[in-house]
Structure 1
């Protein structure tokens, strides 16, 4: 949405899996006299746990790794049930869930015993009731079993939304009696979406390794034996091994694996190895190249030079690996050449802001600490090797087991099914280098040579209807546009939704013209805002018009109506400070622009995390009250008003008791409640217009700014893809004198709204606009774009939809008639001619729009 920052993402709502309460045994031999064998054993153990130790403080126990599901087919009838009370002393919380499970018991059986609980992603969520002391709840649980539990606060005492998992208060306990479990809440600063737990812990790893090295230094002083210095080849070999371990550490956070759980769940090690194949290949390659080079050259100066170059390279790769954690969090994959090429990323104001927000002196020092740790760890590995080497029987035995173990580990890892994306497992360096080779001019829509047969792109291309869908004789003179935040079409009743969210829209469906194929051109609110008002495709850039050029001189629906003497207003329940939307709207001909901060409303929402200054909102129903008072100020003058909701945006603000829609995801259930609230807003606006006698003279447009995903195509939210769930929105044109419940199969877009509304009011459309009139023309084409994860371009022609991923150079083709959920990619080599034609269509659009925006901005200067 325009309005709430997309820094927060639905994937932040934790879905804990495969976790257990862990212990961290200290593997230190306390014997004051160390033999070589004991020393080698100690160092091996230390080297195994050094990475775990760093992660212990870096990770704690993240939400996704807290509880271990051990469901079986156990029957509760064989257990004695106990009513167990939980008391959570949480003075700063306003809403708390107990998240729990019983080891060895089917969760579905426990669900039947405990009312109001919900089974989500393998865990039970039970709301706790507020009490004088804090929060409490009673559970019916089987005796002599172990219960794992955690506490999730979703609101603070002021009612502001938070997403806090109390890692220190979680626990595991054997249920023997009904003695209450009492826990004191622990509050810590919230982590933001862009925060890496590891990137700020370089100092911890370095300090730990320095302590180990100091211990070795002290101990070896007591021994006569002095270890020889490593040769250049040995240095490269052990730095390479050290590099691989540190890359595995960084990869563990990217994959969401907590190394502190490896001892309890060895399968996590297999998952980590599987996810580190790209890192292993890269490290093995550069180590082999430099290692062989030192063996094949004779002058010691060249050998030492090669060693120095490798050290510099390895330190750089280490730093890149930890920086890549933030890249994955923000972009979904390593930084690539395409980000530079397509979006001018490094030169944009947003890039500079993002750089400043994610870099500091502390971060730089921690990255340097990781580089030093690389060399120190390599030295410790070399020491361990020398100690083993001095005892041949120990050396051969351990090396044999290590070799066999490594082969087995790689084999099991290769057979492991993974749930993460390719971007999460790509090595940062190879991904960037590979992108440089694949991002050639022929792959770029901006520079692709267009064939002479390709007709010039026409943004308003369509076929005129023989007879317009409405006559020119009508009394409609007013317009209300209601934009529902993050409103995916698939959830609404008229579009196949199964949740009964739209009783009011259903009521007015017989007075409406409903478009079955309405699309946002890009899955972002501020992009859709510009497309709706200014009748134009979005700027094909990472940059936003509202952020970069809020004062742009371009006619909009509101400015044209203002010129014709209309009263104009824009009311939103959200925060218009996001990406300068307030400044942009101030130049669009609105008499009045008000957001949450100016509209009187009892229900105020706010994110507790103060780093999100735009994280505010009010009850969407308050828009109806504000709209009605505005109309009453001058009910006889023609008016245009735009109402934009907020509750459909994450974290899905909802203050009332939620209706249970029978979905497993709590966040999804809250979202559905918000969409039903939006339907109530539509009903309230329509009722007001009817009561005031304005229903006949007012066109009410109801649409969404973009969709919202809840697990489809393994994505959540809206900005990361251009699938149907990201882009397809409802579109209702409601007026009982004009429409009778017709359904239109045409493909429509945001840019077409203004060019449809103005002709209905008898007004000319500005020549610079790019939309078509939905009531007098038809079209079977649409174009899409998204730059926030991969660089994605889309094209729909009839039933076929093409998705071009220019970051990965992949193509997806779907037949939306036969496969509306886009589950079966039809792309194959025999489609090459069709793909070339589709690429040419997209390139024609991209190059036209790129020139259009360049000319528009230059003319504005």
Structure 2
């Protein structure tokens, strides 16, 4: 084996003037120039941090940042120089030179492209991002990259590549052996020095030191940091997150005019900091701002994951999604849970989901159908005179969007088909999703073209909200309609070094506007209660007087003993997971183990990372996050296996809730309730419409539903509820007068039982009618209650001893 000094002399010999072989010097000069170009690129990537540093720290940052870059360049250069020097076979030498040039070009272009990735994502492109933005169902990240990779960017890359190889050709004619060896030695020394700094604290995100090739290769076959999160959460878990309890907010009194409709209006890609009433500095949401005079607005509301498909899971299944880089919408399309739309539908609401964009995007259509919506619509289902924004490229598949104003027109048309029937409709705007469609006659708000497009898109989305609210007022529906306004997630515009939404969980990514609007219930209140999107469903059922399914993880905002904290995560940038409790914000990177701790009361922009100065508070926050993760994992495991019900927090067993209506002839229908043979009490449905003089419609019966709460002293394992109809009255054949009792649902201990769980006690006294159980004769029906695991275990033990 040749000694290093001998090899250097031998290589230098090939560089002497007049030497015939120029392939080796070309490779060496290419390596030197490539290293210098990557040094400039790395200086740009670290520019902000270096600008705030002294000379010594700046040199240290550069050495650390160049460690992987220059190690790759040195290995590539010296290996191919040695191979070329060792062989005299001309075809093989040409092949080696071609392969070297191709690899050098790849290193150069990935280095340049990494500047775009760092600007957008705050990190190099990895397999996790590639999976998130797959080409068959492409997402916002790669779409944004295609836009920022303009012809100017391509021209710059081409010019640098020509400069690299052209410069190497020119310098090869000059040779310069001593200079080559000196620069290569400097690069090797820098690699050694930088390696010694790898474990030191720098105050700079580790992602800014990573070479993009190393980052991508390292991500292959890796879980993106999930194992680090899982390890953090491996500890005994309580049934609820370990947050302090929130000061409860007062639940509004039941309105004089019962609520009978619900609208969810979701502003796509809209963080709180873009809405005027939450601190936005551009006048693009005047209609939402005006509507807040009849609202309860939440100052501290959060998306659990900054991605649209995760939002759908949270709002319709009332849960924080599973900690995974694959949405539960995709990984568990048949998730066995109770969805908000099916609850509303079972309680007599007609249901619909409208989307300005394409419901095929990220399989939105699959989830909303599973969730139980009766009608589903997107831009393909209507004509839009103000424009449909279309793409023809296969890589932009499913990004087409119609004007949000057209979508609202369709929603109004759907309501008008049966205006007296209670409805539940969910609408997600589309124009504010990247690439941001500014609509007709865009205004000039800011200099940045992309950001200005976004602000105009938000302006149109807000106009559609105003149009919908004006319709409710015009038709007299405002008082009896609960309007829920929420951002599906945030959107970044350069804060913390990222753009779009999925790259982080800073405030711009996850802090969202959220308000409950109804002129009977609210009059402009605001609250600092910390809430998440998973709480939307339980809040709706609470205000509408509907039993909340026990499967739901979220809690009504009016619930007592609710936690004053919320968890959120983003699994594509090293698997970020964090929480907010009171004013404390904590972020943990499961891949790099980086930690961020902020006091949002004094640092709302998250600029002062306290993890660097307060190790005691940081350690406590890290332990708390582990407990939060463990509690959530426990819930998800239980939900997926349906085997942990006994150990979860017990639901209230002191009340039986009955939702009933009917028809009244001489007197309103009356019922009586028993549990396990013991009398509970009775109820009278005074809201049931009279049919003494005329036949009543199903819509009138539906409008007569009322909720009755009967106190009960349940035993340890209650098993059976019996309901009896007491006062059947009939006017006779051919006459309309008839007293019947309709029961839509019976709720007890967190579980709601519908008509399909009723068993008649007397034959021909009642049966299924629409979505209710109808008693048309005096008689009864029974419900066998679901037993929790402790009762089933007790039964099993008793059977085993017999």
TM bracket, shorter-chain basis = 0.5 to 0.7
Q: Which residue does 1:815 correspond to in 2?
A: 599
| 235, 238, 255: which one aligns with 1:456 | 238
Q: CA deviation at 1:540?
A: 1.7
Matched position secondary structure for 1:580? helix
CA change 1:460–1:601 in 2 (3 A) is farther
Select between 541-550 and 746-755 the one with higher mean Cα deviation.
Answer: 541-550
The Cα offsets for residues 541-564 of structure 1, whole Å up to 9 and x where unpaired, read as 211222333333321111111111
1:282 aligns with 2:71: yes
Q: Which residue does 2:508 correspond to in 1?
A: 725
Rounded Cα–Cα distance in structure 2 between residues aligned with 1:673 and 1:688: 23
CA change 1:349–1:667 in 2 (3 A) is closer
Rounded Cα–Cα distance in structure 2 between residues aligned with 1:559 and 1:818: 43
Rounded Cα–Cα distance in structure 1 between residues aligned with 2:233 and 2:69: 39
Q: CA deviation at 1:477?
A: 2.2
Q: CA deviation at 1:508?
A: 2.4
CA contact (8 A) 2:485 2:513 kept: yes
Matched position secondary structure for 2:545? coil
CA RMSD of aligned residues (A): 5.0
Rounded Cα–Cα distance in structure 2 between residues aligned with 1:229 and 1:624: 70
Within 5 A, what are the aligned runs for 1:200-279? 227=20, 242-243=30-31, 245-246=33-34, 277-279=66-68
| 265, 272, 279: which one aligns with 1:489 | 272
Matched position secondary structure for 1:796? strand
CA contact (8 A) 1:442 1:448 kept: no
Structure 1, unaligned stretches of length 5 or more? 1-215, 258-269, 301-308, 359-373, 390-394, 411-419
Q: Which residue does 2:528 correspond to in 1?
A: 745
Rounded Cα–Cα distance in structure 2 between residues aligned with 1:520 and 1:673: 23
Q: CA deviation at 1:381?
A: 6.9
Q: Which residue does 2:448 correspond to in 1?
A: 665
Q: Which residue does 1:559 correspond to in 2?
A: 342
Rounded Cα–Cα distance in structure 1 between residues aligned with 2:386 and 2:165: 58
CA contact (8 A) 1:248 1:276 kept: no
Rounded Cα–Cα distance in structure 1 between residues aligned with 2:166 and 2:19: 14
Q: CA deviation at 1:709?
A: 1.9
Q: CA deviation at 1:240?
A: 6.4
| 444, 461, 470: which one aligns with 2:252 | 470
1:680 aligns with 2:680: no
CA contact (8 A) 2:314 2:320 kept: yes
Q: Which residue does 2:210 correspond to in 1?
A: 426
CA change 1:254–1:764 in 2 (3 A) is farther
CA contact (8 A) 1:699 1:735 kept: yes
Rounded Cα–Cα distance in structure 1 between residues aligned with 2:299 and 2:468: 23
CA contact (8 A) 2:386 2:440 kept: no
Q: CA deviation at 1:423?
A: 3.7
CA contact (8 A) 1:536 1:770 kept: yes
Select between 502-511 and 790-799 the one with higher mean Cα deviation.
Answer: 502-511
Within 5 A, what are the aligned runs for 1:564-603? 564-603=347-386
CA change 1:227–1:445 in 2 (3 A) is same
Q: Which residue does 1:91 correspond to in 2?
A: none
Matched position secondary structure for 2:270? coil
The Cα offsets for residues 416-471 of structure 1, whole Å up to 9 and x where unpaired, read as xxxx98646532466579999x999998120236566xx51515977476774212
Rounded Cα–Cα distance in structure 2 between residues aligned with 1:440 and 1:686: 44
Q: CA deviation at 1:603?
A: 2.1
Rounded Cα–Cα distance in structure 1 between residues aligned with 2:472 and 2:340: 21
Q: CA deviation at 1:573?
A: 1.0
Rounded Cα–Cα distance in structure 2 between residues aligned with 1:741 and 1:379: 68
The Cα offsets for residues 584-622 of structure 1, whole Å up to 9 and x where unpaired, read as 111111110000111332123324452212121111122
CA change 1:256–1:763 in 2 (3 A) is same
Q: Which residue does 1:758 correspond to in 2?
A: 541
Rounded Cα–Cα distance in structure 1 between residues aligned with 2:408 and 2:40: 49
CA change 1:386–1:243 in 2 (3 A) is closer
Q: CA deviation at 1:810?
A: 1.9
Q: CA deviation at 1:321?
A: 6.9
Q: CA deviation at 1:384?
A: 6.7
Select between 638-647 and 611-620 the one with higher mean Cα deviation.
Answer: 611-620
The Cα offsets for residues 247-290 of structure 1, whole Å up to 9 and x where unpaired, read as 66688889999xxxxxxxxxxxx9x9999723554247758999
CA change 1:288–1:567 in 2 (3 A) is closer
Matched position secondary structure for 2:380? coil
Structure 2, unaligned stretches of length 5 or more? 1-14, 46-58, 88-95, 144-160, 192-203, 644-802
Rounded Cα–Cα distance in structure 2 between residues aligned with 1:632 and 1:701: 20
Rounded Cα–Cα distance in structure 2 between residues aligned with 1:388 and 1:711: 45
Q: Which residue does 1:304 correspond to in 2?
A: none
Matched position secondary structure for 2:229? coil
Q: Which residue does 1:139 correspond to in 2?
A: none
CA contact (8 A) 1:578 1:614 kept: yes
Rounded Cα–Cα distance in structure 2 between residues aligned with 1:668 and 1:387: 49
Q: Which residue does 1:261 correspond to in 2?
A: none
Q: CA deviation at 1:659?
A: 2.6
Q: Which residue does 1:714 correspond to in 2?
A: 497
CA contact (8 A) 1:533 1:558 kept: yes
CA change 1:593–1:379 in 2 (3 A) is closer
Rounded Cα–Cα distance in structure 1 between residues aligned with 2:235 and 2:337: 32
Q: CA deviation at 1:400?
A: 11
Q: Which residue does 1:624 correspond to in 2?
A: 408
Q: Which residue does 1:638 correspond to in 2?
A: 422
Q: Which residue does 1:799 correspond to in 2?
A: 583
TM-score of the pair, normalised by structure 1: 0.56
Q: CA deviation at 1:314?
A: 11
Matched position secondary structure for 2:231? coil
